[in-house]
């Protein structure tokens, strides 16, 4: 089972980022190791010569989440002193995000070879986390969540999701007993100035809401309904769908076609339609708030007030070590939105905040770039070793 302390956590990608945590048992006695011949370990890790374990963790609201553990580097040298690190993907992705590049360039393998006990999370609704103690994915209730529930339930269980969720939970002091530092890659908190033509057009034309009204509670990017609505968005004059990845993430500098092919074999993944509605609300309103039920009575029932509460980033403790890297070409984590986040961190202790800016990077570069090792991962690991 997992070590008794959690010293580091990273969360990233497609509506997310990275973070580092500390000193708390991650699993309860009800959690268990998955003995399976199928899964990310067999598919992506063991074939590279690394030991790997499949684990499952259950959230307080009953979702059973898949996790993978790489307990040692390829050399096979085990140590009880290895600090655990959790890698968490973001919206429309799963844990394979961290395993796309060759072993000497993928962050998960690099961390294992650098002496860390690496854990990989998979958010509810993705291929390897489609189980619940009571519900079935065919039930509407299975998909009745947004990232508010990830803050309330999943992060306390396994430091789930991504920058957006990590920052929100940090701001509510939920993770401070477990976190001693955080790495935020291509961080998304504020999204009101997002420039992605696909994401912005989908939000402004209420695409997610349309799917929900049609009774589609699961947002499956590969599903017929999503594909048909994408065709509608692609007819907009300001959307160029000849290169969907660029239209969504921005012009990535350093992807090669073979990595993109591997990416498309496994991604994108499903999420709750309600989750995409929540993100669309944030894009339209430019706020960092909880889910808006668009009904005063429903908001009162859930929040005790007529409008959704705001997440306050200024409450993140000033002495929490943070490493933040963002890109000048990122259409999801726009530079102007990141500046809003940095403004909320203006009182952060100067020696506790490291900010890296990559002018040539877009969103996907942070997990698939051919030079991510030298440009981002090596400095990131150096930051870890200082904590």
Whole-number pLDDT of residue 232: 81
Whole-number pLDDT of residue 168: 59
Element (DSSP H or E) covering residue 5:
none
Choose among 258, 245, 254: nearest CA to 369: 254
Whole-number pLDDT of residue 14: 32
Choose among 133, 24, 1: nearest CA to 9: 24
Average pLDDT, stretch 334-350? 95
Whole-number pLDDT of residue 32: 41
b/e sequence 181-215, b meaning 16+ C-beta within 10 Å: bbbbbbbbbbbeebebbbbbbbbeeebbbebbeee
| Alpha carbon distance 202, 342 (integer Å) | 27
| Alpha carbon distance 287, 283 (integer Å) | 8
| Alpha carbon distance 374, 359 (integer Å) | 15
Whole-number pLDDT of residue 64: 94
Q: At residue 282, does pLDDT exceed 50?
A: yes
Whole-number pLDDT of residue 22: 28
Say what percent of the chain tops pLDDT 90: 55
Look at 322 and 135; give whichever has higher pLDDT: 135
Taking phi over 0 as left and psi of -120 to 50 as alpha, with beta for the rest, 169 belongs to alpha
| Alpha carbon distance 241, 248 (integer Å) | 9
Average pLDDT, stretch 312-340? 93
Element (DSSP H or E) covering residue 63:
strand 63-70
Query: Residue 303: pLDDT band by 50, 70, 90 thresholds?
Result: very high
| Alpha carbon distance 368, 107 (integer Å) | 10
Per-residue model confidence as pLDDT tens digits over 155-166: 778 764 343 444
Q: At residue 12, does pLDDT exceed 50?
A: no
Average pLDDT, stretch 295-324? 93
Whether residue 8 contacts residue 362, with contact meaning beta carbons closer than 8 Å, is answered with: no
b/e sequence 45-77, b meaning 16+ C-beta within 10 Å: beeeebbbbbbbbbbebebbbbbbbbbbbeeee
Whole-number pLDDT of residue 76: 84
Tokens of 52: 């790997």
Q: At residue 271, does pLDDT exceed 50?
A: yes
Tokens of 51: 């030991």
b/e sequence 249-266, b meaning 16+ C-beta within 10 Å: bbbbbbbeeebeebbeeb
Spacing of C-alpha 95 from chain mean position: 9
Whole-number pLDDT of residue 18: 33
Whole-number pLDDT of residue 175: 60
Q: At residue 104, does pLDDT exceed 90?
A: yes
Three-state DSSP class for residue 119: strand
Per-residue model confidence as pLDDT tens digits over 134-148: 999 999 999 999 999
Average pLDDT, stretch 203-222? 92
- What mean pLDDT, rounded, does the chain reach? 84
Per-residue model confidence as pLDDT tens digits over 70-91: 989 998 877 667 778 888 887 8
Q: At residue 26, does pLDDT exceed 70?
A: no
Average pLDDT, stretch 324-344? 95
């Amino acid at each position: 089972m997992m070590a008794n302390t959690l010293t580091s956590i990273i969360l990233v990608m497609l509506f997310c980022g990275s973070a580092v945590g500390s000193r708390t048992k991650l699993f309860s006695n009800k959690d268990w190791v998955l003995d399976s011949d199928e899964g990310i370990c067999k598919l992506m890790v063991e074939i590279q010569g690394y030991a790997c374990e499949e684990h499952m963790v259950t959230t307080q609201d009953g979702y059973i989440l898949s996790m993978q553990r790489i307990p040692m580097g390829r050399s096979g040298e085990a140590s009880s002193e290895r600090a655990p690190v959790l890698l968490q993907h973001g919206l429309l992705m799963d844990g394979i995000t961290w395993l796309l590049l060759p072993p000497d360039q993928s962050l998960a393998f690099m961390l294992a070879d650098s002496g860390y006990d690496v854990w990989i999370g998979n958010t509810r609704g993705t291929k390897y986390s489609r189980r619940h103690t009571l519900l079935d994915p065919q039930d509407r209730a299975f998909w009745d969540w947004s990232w508010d529930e990830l803050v309330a339930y999943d992060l306390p269980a396994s430091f789930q999701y991504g920058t957006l969720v990590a920052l929100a939970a940090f701001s509510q002091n939920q993770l401070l007993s477990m976190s001693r530092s955080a790495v935020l890659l291509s961080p998304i908190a504020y999204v009101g100035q997002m420039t992605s033509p696909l994401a912005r057009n989908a939000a402004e034309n209420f695409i997610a809401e349309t799917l929900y009204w049609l009774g589609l509670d699961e947002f499956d990017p590969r599903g017929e309904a999503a594909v048909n609505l994408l065709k509608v968005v692609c007819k907009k004059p300001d959307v160029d769908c000849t290169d969907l990845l660029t239209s969504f993430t921005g012009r990535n500098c350093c992807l090669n076609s073979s990595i993109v092919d591997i990416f498309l074999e496994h991604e994108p993944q499903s999420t709750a339609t309600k989750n995409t509605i929540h993100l669309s609300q944030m894009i339209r309103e430019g706020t960092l708030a909880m889910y808006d039920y668009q009904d005063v009575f429903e908001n009162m029932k859930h929040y005790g007030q007529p409008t959704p509460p705001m997440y306050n980033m200024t409450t993140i403790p000033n002495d929490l070590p943070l490493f933040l890297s963002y890109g000048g070409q990122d259409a999801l984590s726009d530079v102007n939105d990141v500046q809003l986040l940095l403004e909320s961190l203006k009182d952060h202790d100067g020696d506790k905040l490291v900010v890296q800016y990559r002018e040539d990077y877009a969103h996907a570069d942070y997990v698939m770039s051919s030079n991510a090792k030298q440009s981002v991962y090596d400095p990131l690991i150096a930051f870890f070793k200082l904590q």
